[in-house]
Amino acid sequence: MMTSAGKLHYLQVIEILKENIESGVFKENDRLPSDFELAEKFDVTRTTLRKALTILEDERVLTRRHGVGLFINPKPIFTSGIEQLESVSAMIENAGMEPGTIFMDVSDTDPTDECVSQFDFAEDEKLVAIKRVRTADGEPVVYCVDNLLSKYLPSETEELFSVSIFDAIEQSGNVRIVQAIAQIEPVGYDEEASSILRCGVDVPLLVLKQRHYTDDGEMVLYSKNYFRADKFSFHVVRKRV
């Protein structure tokens, strides 16, 4: 696609930049040349170039560090469809890496209005909050905040260092999680999660909120998982009906 003046269209600039990144002309975490240099290199107007760069930012191919410039984002280590329900441990294992846990806090919590409306509370039951940092080959990649009824918590909470939350809940054989309603929200910087995952303001997070249900419709787990967006990407396979 060419303009009437014979210059490159912004879509062609996008493709060329992607090819340059793929071939190693521009490497992960490299800073791009200035707008002036790139416009001259591709023989396009700076307006055309900026349109291409804006789209690449939206696609998270590039990230802007204010006052510094545009940088090449590393490709996510983990990419997953969210049609199939699986634990964070399974996602890490499927990427060929070793899942682990380096931080855990288990505490009784006052149920929020959101939780009360979802869980079927009995008068003598308590809600437990479990906070864990999940690692891949020792590197922090996901901050997990799980809320569940205390009756579903293993008697030995140390088990949560070595097994997924799904396995811990289902070990009694009386409960099996069969489906979840998921919601994905992008966030920029979260004071707690970003600090725990050792990423600064330039590394965005993806929050996956899930309500997990048994086959009889009982909600047993509400989770908020903060994923480093430079490590994870999610996709959905959509079919025409």
Query: Using 50, 70 and 90 to split pLDDT, how confident is the model at 6?
Result: very low
Straight-line distance from the first to the last Cα atom of the chain, in angstroms, rounded to the nearest whole number: 33
Domain locations in the chain? 10-72, 78-235
Contact between residue 13 and residue 39 where contact means Cβ atoms under 8 Å apart: no
**Using CB atoms within 10 A of its CB, is residue 164 exposed (0-12), middle (13-18) or buried (19+)?**
buried
User: Which CATH code is given to the segment(s) 10-72?
Assistant: 1.10.10.10
What number is the average pLDDT over the span 212-219? Answer: 87
Spatial distance between the Cα atoms of 18 and 57, rounded to a whole number of angstroms: 12
Residue 2 has pLDDT above 50, yes or no: no
pTM value? 0.67
Spatial distance between the Cα atoms of 203 and 12, rounded to a whole number of angstroms: 28
pLDDT winner (highest mean) among 25-39, 77-91, 169-183: 25-39
Percent of the chain surpassing pLDDT 90: 16
CATH architecture type of domain 78-235: 3-Layer(aba) Sandwich (3.40)
Compute CA distances 45 → 32, 39, 95, 132, whole Å.
17, 6, 42, 49
The β-bridge relationship of strands 127-136 and 205-214 is unpaired
* Opening angle at CA 150, ends 182 and 226, nearest 5: 35
Contact between residue 174 and residue 152 where contact means Cβ atoms under 8 Å apart: no
Q: Looking at residue 154, what is its pLDDT?
A: 64
**Using CB atoms within 10 A of its CB, is residue 67 exposed (0-12), middle (13-18) or buried (19+)?**
exposed
Residue 143 has pLDDT above 90, yes or no: yes
Query: Using 50, 70 and 90 to split pLDDT, how confident is the model at 193?
Result: very high
Contact between residue 232 and residue 76 where contact means Cβ atoms under 8 Å apart: yes
Q: Looking at residue 123, what is its pLDDT?
A: 67
Residues 6+ apart with CB under 8 A from 4: none
Residue 233 has pLDDT above 70, yes or no: yes
Spatial distance between the Cα atoms of 57 and 61, rounded to a whole number of angstroms: 6
Structure tokens of 87? 């634990």
Strand partners of residue 78:
232
Q: Give the pLDDT confidence of 53-90 residue by residue, as tens digits.
A: 998 888 778 888 888 889 888 776 666 666 677 778 88
